[in-house]
Structure 1
Amino acid sequence: MTWSKVHLVVLPIVCWFLFVIGITATAPAAEIQMQVQAVPPTQSALSPTGQLLTIEDAVRIGLDNHPRIKSANERIGSQQAVLGQQMSAYYPTVSLSNQYRTSQSSSNGGNDHAADTFSSQAGFNMTLYNFGKREGNVQAARETLDATKQDYETTSQDIVLAIKQAYYVYLASQALVKVRQETVRSRELLVRQAQGFYDVGTRARIDVARAEANLYSAQADLIAAENGVKIAWVTLRNAMGSPRLPEQPVAEDSPEVQFSMNLAGARNVAFDARTELKSFDAQRKAADQLIATARRGHLPDLIFDASYGRRHVSDQKGLNTFPLQPTWSVQLSFNIPIFDGFRTTNRVEETLHNYYNVKAQEEDRRQQIALEVEQSYLRVVETQERIRATESAARAAKENLDLAQGRYQVGVGSIIEVTDAETLYTDAQTTYIRTIYDYKIADAQLARAMGDTRVGVLKPGSIK
């Protein structure tokens, strides 16, 4: 048997052997379903409690620990104290004073006169009526307190949105690591196949070099993806207000909610539910009360004063300090403002401008909310449509990769065909994963725009 005949017999056997090896190695890849799953945590990555961090847990941790929540809560306490200060106008002022005074004077005749004075006195002061000034100040403080509470809710919703976005970015980063790991395994297999073909002389060295270049590129992408997971975790724990929280497994599944709503309905819900508008409404009411209070500055005050005490004076003429003699007084004042240098007039102007400023800010915020709702609504509609398209693209790319690998393993296809198919499949998987989490982030933004405090994700297809 000549060498050429041996070559013709051995070559098909070698190709068949490599084909069997390739099919066996790529079988797990063919079983991959188009589902987005987090990278399975290793045993060392378990949290101290051994439980997964759910999105509900992340939100709870953020609302318990975030400094912005604590700051907003302190502002509520501060405004409650302001309300207490205004309420003090309904109560009298009671004071107690004790005084000792010594004096000496000289007359023209050279006679000196010295005296010591002792006094102890309790005072009582109360505004009986000031034509609604204190009532206006108290009501303005109450409305401002209500606005501060609404600002607290706004801060809470902003923090929840930041946590949800960071949470989904972290899950997306983990899913992308899984894609990169599968790409590295696939390209390692291609390197072994190309090397095997080169060793038996059926392929050129360029096939091996191209396969190795693609492998090294995939390994670099995997390193970048793994680093992206670390960055995403840092971002998530910062959003939760816990910068030292150790990394732990994160639950993939989020509760789904389903309801039908059009754009006009979403906008109306936002106008009714957004805490920013409720805050501006309370601020406007407070400003209105301050206007009325400032105008009442032209009206009189009715004030009651009373005092009771003991005092006496001792001098060189024989008067003794003790015992102290009782003294008391009662006074009813009716103070009518006549002219105060236009202070009250300018105060009224100030409160009017503040009122119109609040109204303008409220209208601006209303328009901004309408824009946020429309943008978020359209983004949800877009991403839920893209999910179907990218899922089909990923499925087609997987079929294309299987065909390209099969052709290359039997010696029909080229290395370029396989590497292009691998790149196409990796890109399609990446796009599909990002689209899924883009949808979840868009849904979180829509919920925030509508003032919806739900944690679950809107089921795809709910919005038409």
Structure 2
Amino acid sequence: MRTLAMVVVLGWCSGALAAEPSRVLTLEQAEVTAREQQPQLRSARAGTDAARARVDQARSGFLPQVSGNASYDVGTNRVGTSSGGVVSGGTARRFSAGLTANQLLYDFGRTSGRLTASRRSAEAQEATQAQTLEDVLLDVRASYFDALTQRALLDVARETLESEEKRLKQVKAAVEVGNRPEIDLLQQRTARANAQVRFIQARNAEGTAKAQLNQAMGVEGSTDYAVADVVVAPVEGEDSATDVLVERALAARGDVKARELQVRAQEAQVGATRSDFWPSLGATAGATDTGTDPADATWNVSGGLSLSWPLFEGGRTRAEVREQRALLRDTQAQQDVLRQQVRLEVEQARLAVTASREALSAAEEALVNARERLRLAEGRYQAGVGNIIELSDAQVEYTNAAAQRVQATYDLATSRATLARALGTQPHSVVAMAP
């Protein structure tokens, strides 16, 4: 499934009111950085390594268990007499060394069940790690699009401030020659001040958005960079019915696979615990070297079979089986909850994409109309048939329309990224192409 294509356009002009950032950050670079530095991913990888180690621990039950021991004792042999004296028997020395090996032969599936459970748990953790990567990348994309939004809104605020300053000069000149009343100058000064406030707020919002992007990438560093613009292509099948999209999501998402594996792991754990009711058969072998001195010690060997059967443990095994069965029901219930959550996420993301597309179309129309109204209002004011209130209102409407279009553009990008994640899209489906 190839669901996203992104066209990366490098570079942007920051204008005269802000310094040019020292570097440009692309979406691809942001994702690569997150893969390398995000603590959540490091934690997920560590969890996977621990789960694989538990598989090796469970497998060790099928292998021979060998232990060794050695001791060397020195002491005196002194015996008391009836008269209260002590007779010395000399010094006693004893050396002993040995090896003991135990091999499990059969335990009615106890060890194999635990090995199967640990394997399924490790596979579930691997799937969870993959889903964690998807979640981290979605967070990076959403933060990246928010940074783009705030950058574009800063450009709108900058353009508005420049327009208001230019208009202030024109109104001031008109008032000085008596073509306009002095109240127009006061009105325009207020409009310029308001535009300056909005520019300062937009500049702060952009800095905050880039700080949040740094956090999403797992970076502790400067925000002295610009984000490169991106265009998000439609998600494949984004207009399909919800049931179709849900089936795609259930077949592809890592968290769904992880939950299925957790159910299978718990089923194996139930079987392994139930096998504690039955005996365990093993073989033992040993060799010892015993004597008064290591140089002249005597070797002895032994071997045999052992059968261990817990006949009564106060109901402990039965209670453990009940516990594992209850945990299995809990895991199955969580699996059903996840399936319902997947449906909700897919439905919400699909509706958000549809709404964002429609909102963007309406915002573009509103921007065209607001631009034309501003042009007419400027012409009427210059011709002397319009007033400063009409012109200010037209400027405010144009600024709001421009900001609305910016927000709608990147809302659509975020909605499509969210839908891709809900469908279980892999990171390689994001394709960066030269402009």
1:45, distance to aligned residue in structure 2 (A): 2.2
CA distance in 2, matches of 1:396, 1:321: 103
**Other-structure match for 1:187:** 164
1:256, distance to aligned residue in structure 2 (A): 2.4
1:46, distance to aligned residue in structure 2 (A): 3.6
Among 340, 346, 352, the residue aligned to 1:379: 352
**Other-structure match for 1:77:** 49
- Are residue 296 (structure 1) and residue 302 (structure 2) matched? no
- Counterpart of 2:113 in structure 1: which amino acid? G
Conserved 8 A contact 2:367-2:402? yes
1:254 to 1:435, Cα distance in 2 relative to 1, 3 A: closer
CA distance in 2, matches of 1:37, 1:94: 64
**Other-structure match for 2:69:** 97
CA distance in 2, matches of 1:285, 1:89: 21
1:107, distance to aligned residue in structure 2 (A): 7.8
**Other-structure match for 1:45:** 21
SS of the residue aligned with 1:207?
helix
- Bigger mean CA offset, 56-65 vs 294-303: 56-65
**Other-structure match for 1:66:** 38
SS of the residue aligned with 2:230?
coil
Among 413, 418, 435, the residue aligned to 1:445: 418
1:164, distance to aligned residue in structure 2 (A): 0.3
**Other-structure match for 2:328:** 355
Higher relative contact order (CA 8 A, sep 6+): 2
- Counterpart of 1:329 in structure 2: which amino acid? S
In the superposition, the TM-score normalised over structure 2's length comes to 0.89
Show CA shifts across 1:341-371 (max 9, x none): 2121111111111111111111111111111
1:323, distance to aligned residue in structure 2 (A): 1.9
SS of the residue aligned with 2:296?
coil
Q: What is the percentage of aligned positions where both structures have the same residue? A: 30
List gaps (5 residues or longer) in structure 1: 1-35, 314-319, 458-464
Conserved 8 A contact 2:150-2:206? yes
**Other-structure match for 1:220:** 197
1:247, distance to aligned residue in structure 2 (A): 2.7
**Other-structure match for 2:316:** 343
Conserved 8 A contact 2:234-2:416? no
Among 99, 112, 135, the residue aligned to 1:122: 99
**Other-structure match for 1:25:** none
- Are residue 333 (structure 1) and residue 306 (structure 2) matched? yes
SS of the residue aligned with 1:309?
strand
1:89 to 1:182, Cα distance in 2 relative to 1, 3 A: same
Query: Greater Rg, structure 1 or structure 2?
Result: 1
1:193, distance to aligned residue in structure 2 (A): 2.2
| Number of aligned positions between the proteins | 412
Root-mean-square deviation over aligned CA pairs? 2.3
CA distance in 1, matches of 2:81, 2:418: 90
SS of the residue aligned with 2:95?
strand
- Bigger mean CA offset, 104-113 vs 177-186: 104-113
Among 258, 272, 287, the residue aligned to 1:279: 258
Conserved 8 A contact 1:39-1:174? no
SS of the residue aligned with 1:338?
coil
- Counterpart of 2:387 in structure 1: which amino acid? S
Conserved 8 A contact 1:234-1:243? no
1:41, distance to aligned residue in structure 2 (A): 4.5
Alignment of 1:409-448 (within 5 A): 409-448=382-421
